[in-house]
Amino acid sequence: MINKVVKNVEDALQGVQSGMTLMLGGFGLCGIPENSISQLEKLGVTDLTCISNNAGVDNFGLGLLLQKRQIKKMISSYVGENDEFERQMLSGELDVELIPQGTLAERCRATGAGIPAFYTPAGYGTEVAEGKETREFNGKMYVLEHAFKPDYAFVKAWKGDTAGNLIFKGTARNFNPLMAMAGKITVAEVEELVPAGELDPNQIHTSGIFVQRIFQGVAYEKRIEQRTVTPKS
Amino acid sequence: MALDKIGIAKRIAQELRDGWYVNLGIGIPTLVANYIPSGIDVEFQSENGLLGMGPFPIEGEEDADLINAGKQTVTVLDGGSLFDSANSFAMIRGQHVQLTVLGAMEVAENGDIANWKIPGKMVKGMGGAMDLVASAENIIVAMMHTNKHGDSKLLKKCSLPLTGVGCVKKIVSNLAVLEVTENGFKLLERAPGVSVEEIKNATEGKLIIEGDIPEMVIN
């Protein structure tokens, strides 16, 4: 067994520097690497390019790094729910590349799977396709999209073992397994870290081969953005 | 009388067919799930990684790890499944999802749709909408026929940045049901009590009116 465990978030983020390109898992605030984001804020690294489906909310998730002006460029599919983000973007302080969600997911997957580029129909005929190669297959038009070149990927899982194997819960899976594949260095934080052998190999979502560092996360807030309920009748 | 949001959702629900997997966008489309016709089994796909999406959880049972694409807490029904975002969009682009229902700011008579950006004003992003409209065989747009100033949202040509080209097949608005054809918007049904004349006045794009136009039947 190759042991991937690091002691804490400080060790997990060793080597992160200003100007790097980072991937961060999560959809909205669901499944975001809370501990790693806090540590990025603490480290004060700047000029970051962040690849993440969303940009957090004003005072949580990636919103924390936006408030401190640590992010130079965001690559996302949807950035509503964040007033500071919108302000920085409209004023030109923040460079933003908005791309279709499925394209974002597949670009992450392609990065980790050794696929340099692929064709997708998403965005054909829109400003997303401007300047990109297009090609017809079977009478339909497609846009060529490329893999990313991230330095680090930060993902969050429900359970993980010392070999770096990960299991996600519910819809907190989202971009995490894809980004785990893509990182040159992938840092996984987990709610519950167990010894290798305790997780059923049949149930592993992300194999340890994709994870370079894993640590036991602490103090998860797991905020809910839209609490919607059916009243007890 | 023009339909309200619930009326639009009820009319769209009549388009559901047994055995379909359906993706519902944020807003009016989400309401469609409340009016599934009896005797029909459909499953709802949420692009953040959930198939078999159920109603909002009972108070106190909400789970931060179980949300829909609108970031609302939801539940999973029996037979449901969970997956990552690449798999989710494989279902969408691979046309395993039979129907997509989404909102729009503008639709053009050739089926172009704009719903993600107002330059200089609102830039929230397209989320999964571009993947959905580029791939789905069957796209229904749920929308108000006019904006709050009374201007038509069914246009000759979209003025806002496009989400997809030539992809909308059907529109259910507060005034009418329309099919997007090669020649323009074909009027299929009127909202109860709404005249053809009213629909004409509210439609900037080419409107095709053939024969008597029936009223929608909404329970």
A208 in Cβ contact with A45 (< 8 Å): no
Instruction: Please determine, for residue A157, whether its predicted confidence score (pLDDT) is greater than 90.
Output: yes
Q: Is A118 on the interface with B (CB under 8 A)?
A: no
Contacts of B33 by beta carbon, 8 Å cutoff, 6+ apart? B24, B44, B53, B55
Q: pLDDT tens, A20-61?
A: 999 999 999 999 999 999 999 999 999 999 999 999 998 999
Does the residue B42 lie in any domain? no
Q: How far apart are CA B47 and CA B162, in angstroms?
A: 21
- Please list every residue in chain B whose beta carbon sits closer than 8 Å to the beta carbon of residue A106: 86, 89
The backbone region for B177, taken as left when phi is positive above 0, alpha when psi lies in -120 to 50, beta otherwise, is: beta
Does the residue B167 lie in any domain? yes
Beta pairing partners, A186? A153
Does the residue B54 lie in any domain? no
Judge whether B189 counts as a catalytic residue: no
More confidently predicted of A88 and A52: A52
Does the residue B56 lie in any domain? no
CATH number at residue B153: 3.40.1080.10
Q: Is A100 on the interface with B (CB under 8 A)?
A: yes
Does the residue B213 lie in any domain? no
pTM of the model: 0.96
Q: What is the DSSP letter of B23?
A: E
Closest by Cα among B131, B132, B86 to A112? B86
Label residue B1 by pLDDT band (50, 70, 90): confident
Q: Is B43 on the interface with A (CB under 8 A)?
A: no
Q: How far apart are CA B6 and CA A216, in angstroms?
A: 46
Q: How far apart are CA A197 and CA B182, in angstroms?
A: 61
Count of domains for chain B: 1
Does the residue B147 lie in any domain? yes
The CA distances from residue B39 to A43, A48, B19, B42, in Å, are 58, 53, 11, 10
Does the residue B159 lie in any domain? yes
Please give, rounded to a whole number of angstroms, the shortest distance from the CA of A82 to a CA of chain B.
9
CB contact (8 A) between residue A222 and residue B62? no
Does the residue B121 lie in any domain? yes
Structural domain of residue B193, as residue ranges?
5-31+97-208
Q: pLDDT tens, B159-185?
A: 999 999 999 999 999 999 999 999 999
pLDDT of amino acid B27: 86
Report the amino acid identity of residue A22. L
Q: Is A120 on the interface with B (CB under 8 A)?
A: yes
Which residue out of B34, B45, B85 would a mutagenesis test of the A interface target, given it has the greatest number of A Cβ atoms within 10 Å?
Answer: B85
Q: pLDDT tens, B64-110?
A: 999 999 999 999 999 999 999 999 999 999 999 999 999 999 999 99
- What chain B residue is nearest to A176 in terms of C-alpha separation? B84
Q: How far apart are CA A223 and CA A226, in angstroms?
A: 9
pLDDT of amino acid A232: 84
**Closest Cβ opposite residue A103 in set B56, B64, B131:** B131
Instruction: Please determine, for residue A81, whether its predicted confidence score (pLDDT) is greater than 80.
Output: no
